[in-house]
Structures are given as structure tokens and as C-alpha cells.
Amino acid sequence: MAGYHSRITPVAGVGQAGSIPYLQRDDGAVIVILPLDNVFQTEAVAGKFQRIDEILTQTGKVADRELWLTGGVDGGARKMLETVGWKITEKAGDRLRR
């Protein structure tokens, strides 16, 4: 999270959606950074992101949603997440640690 703030774009704040921490930029975009190798389309993943979306919607301050992963996303999970509005950045570890 510190790497995003210092190397990508300064953030306005930090929040938590359930057990998932997130960053929020001044423009309202929410950034979730997860240290995962691979994300696959499963009911558990779909349920987790549905709960995150519900919490973020309740805040009323979300413009965009970005998911930054240290690993990758399979095709089914990518389609599932992008369909509900998530922008995905894969293999983000090097960009965040430089």
C-alpha cells in the first residue's frame, strides 16, 4: 500500500471493506492490493467481491474500483470481475516495490 502511495499515485485515505483493506484516491477510486499468485473464478471469490462491492457502495464515495495483484487472474475470474466494474492490474509487485 505504501508503494502505491509513493510510486504510483498519492492516496487520500485508507479504508476496510470487511476484512480487505483498500486505498482511496482523491478522485474516489478505490484500490485493493492483494498478494495473490493466481485468482480463479470460484463461488468463494465471487462472493468475496460481491461483499466488498456492497460495502463500498454503502460508502457512496466510490468512483472506480481497481484490483492490483502480485500474480495473475484466469480468464473466467477476469471476466467476472471486469463485468462488475473492476479494473485489474496483474503482476504489480515490481511496480509497487521499485
CATH 3.40.1350, domain 2-97, yes or no: yes
pLDDT at site 13: 94
Q: Where are the domains of the chain?
A: 2-97
Grid cell at residue 64? 472506480
* Residue 78 CB coordination number (10 Å): 17
Alpha-carbon distances, residue 43 vs 38, 57, 89 (angstroms): 15, 21, 22
- 80, 59 contact by CB (below 8 A): no
Render pLDDT for 2-56 as a digit per residue (tens, 0 to 9): 999 999 999 999 999 989 999 999 999 999 999 999 999 999 999 999 999 999 8
Segments in the chain forming alpha helices (H): 2-3, 43-59, 75-83, 93-97
For the whole prediction, is pTM greater than 0.85? yes
